[in-house]
Structure 1
Amino acid sequence: MFPVLLSIVLAILSMVVPSTAQGSPPRGCGSGLLSRYFYLCDLDSAWGIVLETIATAGVVATLALMIVLLVLIPWVPDQRKRSHIGIQFVFLLGTLGIFGLTFAFIITNNEQTCPTRIFLWGVLFALCFSCLLAHVWRLIRLVRTGNGPSAWCMLAGVVCLTLVQVIIAIEWLIITLVTNSYTCTSAYTQNDFVMILIYVLFLMAVTSLLSLLTFFGKHKAWKKHGAHIFVTMLFSDAIWIVWIVMLVKGNSQLGHRPIWDDPVLSIALVSNGWVFILMYIIPEMCYITRREDLTEIIDDGQPVRTNMYKTGVDNRVFSPDEPGQVNHMNVKPSAPPKYDNTIPMKPYQSEKEFTIPRPHTLVNGSSHPYEGYYGRQSGGL
């Protein structure tokens, strides 16, 4: 996986032309355009045009998925699956921001784009990985017990986890730009950029490890959701390892620093955004509307009744009468007992047989015509 990603990155980086951002406007750009925007329209250095096209397609796809996700809410049969929609919608908001942030890295780094890069990169990825971590936390409970925390608990966890990265980014900007009176571009180094993202790397590591725990449990229907997150984190980890290695060491060793720094970061944003869509959101949207069976097979092979139920009432008017089948239309529901009897009731059984008495003649001096009736057979005289 890593060699494939690295070869793709190098293929796109081969389109970079060092002299495009300076001098006269390149081919494809207007004469009055500022040099900081040259990569958006330069036909000779096509990496900017390629990445902005892919990022624009990602923005359109994310907006469409947000609308579809809202439309699918009434069609989700299981309330437990419906609880995931809230964090998935927030996850799509973070993905939309990631695609939009790509344009800040295609534009040349300056005093306007530098704070945006430093602040939004960590915050947006912290938001997305916090959503995945909250989803993993709930899936671990669902796989083991069949129930999990509510949607509001997950959203509160996402907000708290994201605020940590917000505080880290604000502190760095305040210390660098206000306290030390440095300009952002002069204080902005590759190593500092990676150091600000240590908390995001921690979220990624925890989410990757916890996603493995979703494969162990008796409720197998939820394991496929854990597999989506595991695959998403696997590709995301690979992307982050590649761009960090290229940014910190690879570009300098290849002799292309700082020309390749912005293209590497732009490629990382676009590729990770599409991994979020293709590996997580689209598979999840396919499964949340699927009606599961009423029984789930657990690990030891025994069926377990789930909380799912069929909606609607079966129409038995036209059901054929079969031998041994009870006609439900003619059976009246029994009224609930008025009092709760604590003494168990047994059906009354007669110990003696009662029949209509028959007159008979006196035998052996009997004084009463019905003497000896009780206990006689019904056919006796």
Structure 2
Amino acid sequence: MELPVQLQSSNGSRPAGCGLALAQEYWPLCDTWGIVVQAAAGAGFVSCVVLMLVLLLRLACESRRRSSAVAALLVFLLATAGIFALPYSFIIALSPQTCPVRVFAFGVLFSVAFGALLARGLALLGVALARGWREVGVTAALALVQVIVATEWLLVVLVQDKRMCQFSQSEFAMLQIYVMVLLVAALMTALRFLRHACVTYSYSYTGRTHRQNKLRAALLVLTLLLSACVWLVWITLLTYGNRAMGRSPLWDEPLICVALTANGWVLLLGHGFTQVRFMCKRSARTKDPPLDFTGWTSPRTQPAAPPALKTGTDNVGFQEDVDGRRGKDVASPGIFMREISAEKDYSIPRPTTTNINEPYDEYYGHRV
């Protein structure tokens, strides 16, 4: 990436949709790949905004305990919306205005997104460091590292050396090393949570929660695996593939635009939409009307009726034999029975010995 870069259409001529007054650095906006990327990125950006509005309305109604999860998801969607907006700085040709956005915002936005997924995985594993509102703090702390790295690189390399955005594709990829570390760490955490959710099984009434945890773990692993594949492809093509095919630098910016849009949709579909749906379903279950136990229990104001006496026989088999011998005209008296109180002890005492260690020592000690 060297300034100035006059990125034109694929055949080097003015696209058909561009006017004569439009500057050459804006020609990719009228090209076919530029229009497709803009449509996909715009749809993703609008979807993120709609989900954030839904979460903001939900945040006002949720309790303090659940509002932390809503806030963490809101931070993730904000970073995803920024990822969808970032391709526009790569569609337009590199300039002193777009250069800081490319260098700084690319790594910072992905560090926030992957840091949020890492914090979510830690929270699902039950790590105390990422519980509650500390999940948002962990995400901010992880993203702050990339902010410092990008700021130092922008100041030292681009300002002090007076190079003005003259950096190679390998240097741009190396700037994202910390982001790749976050991606790998989040993937390992998600795999551990998936293993924990699949191995552990509960026979209690929390079976629905257990199935939901397995689904969350699977979606988190799938999201991070697809993101890792996208990063592996665009870094390989950017640093080696395009140059080997003789398409560098013509395909470099379109490649990054496509990678940004694809990864944004992976994050939005794999984690954004699904988490919002889980939260809405959980809120719907908690708002169900209470169970009506009318007719199941008696009012407390009514006094409890005394237990009725029941009659029974001591030995049914013996009584039938006796009745058969002496005739049916003789009625045997019944035995009145009463319910046993649970507060009293009806256990039968057992005989014990004073010599609990060796009770037969005295017996074997005597000679016959």
* TM-score (normalised: structure 1): 0.69
Q: Which runs of structure 2 are paired with 1:270-281 in the superposition (5 Å)? A: 270-281=261-272
Q: Report the counterpart of residue 211 of structure 1 in structure 2.
A: 190
Letter in 2 for 1:249: Y
Letter in 2 for 1:190: Q
Question: Would you tell me which structure has more helix in proportion to its own residues?
Answer: 2
Q: Deviations over 1:325-367 (max 9, x none)?
A: 53145469xxxxxxxxxxxxx77xxxxxxxxxxxxxxxxxxxx
Q: Report the counterpart of residue 18 of structure 2 in structure 1.
A: 29
Shift of 1:312: 5.6
Check whether the contact 2:129–2:135 (CA below 8 A) recurs between aligned residues: no
| Aligned counterpart in structure 2 of residue 50 of structure 1, from 1, 17, 36 | 36
Q: Report the counterpart of residue 138 of structure 2 in structure 1.
A: 157
Q: Which runs of structure 2 are paired with 1:14-25 in the superposition (5 Å)? A: 17-20=10-13, 25=14
Q: Report the counterpart of residue 356 of structure 1 in structure 2.
A: none
Letter in 2 for 1:69: L
Q: Which runs of structure 2 are paired with 1:361-380 in the superposition (5 Å)? A: none
Where do 5+ consecutive residues of structure 2 fail to align? Answer: 1-7, 203-209, 304-342, 345-368
Q: 1:39 and 2:24 equivalent?
A: no
Shift of 1:150: 3.4
Q: Report the counterpart of residue 189 of structure 1 in structure 2.
A: 168
* CA distance 1:97–1:309, change in 2 (3 Å): closer
Q: Report the counterpart of residue 268 of structure 1 in structure 2.
A: 259
How many pairs were matched up?
A: 289
* SS of equivalent residue, structure 1 residue 208: helix
Q: Percent identity?
A: 35
Q: 1:228 and 2:209 equivalent?
A: no
Q: Report the counterpart of residue 373 of structure 1 in structure 2.
A: none
Letter in 1 for 2:137: A
Q: 1:326 and 2:317 equivalent?
A: no
Superposed CA RMSD in Å reads 3.0
Shift of 1:81: 5.3
Shift of 1:141: 0.9
Q: 1:172 and 2:137 equivalent?
A: no
Q: Which runs of structure 2 are paired with 1:230-309 in the superposition (5 Å)? A: 230-291=221-282
Where do 5+ consecutive residues of structure 1 fail to align? Answer: 1-14, 293-307, 333-345, 348-381
Shift of 1:232: 0.6
CA distance in 1 between partners of 2:51 and 2:108 (Å): 22
Shift of 1:100: 0.8
Q: Report the counterpart of residue 125 of structure 1 in structure 2.
A: 110
* CA distance 1:310–1:286, change in 2 (3 Å): closer
Check whether the contact 1:18–1:259 (CA below 8 A) recurs between aligned residues: no
Shift of 1:201: 0.3
Check whether the contact 1:16–1:47 (CA below 8 A) recurs between aligned residues: no
* SS of equivalent residue, structure 1 residue 183: coil
Q: Report the counterpart of residue 87 of structure 2 in structure 1.
A: 102
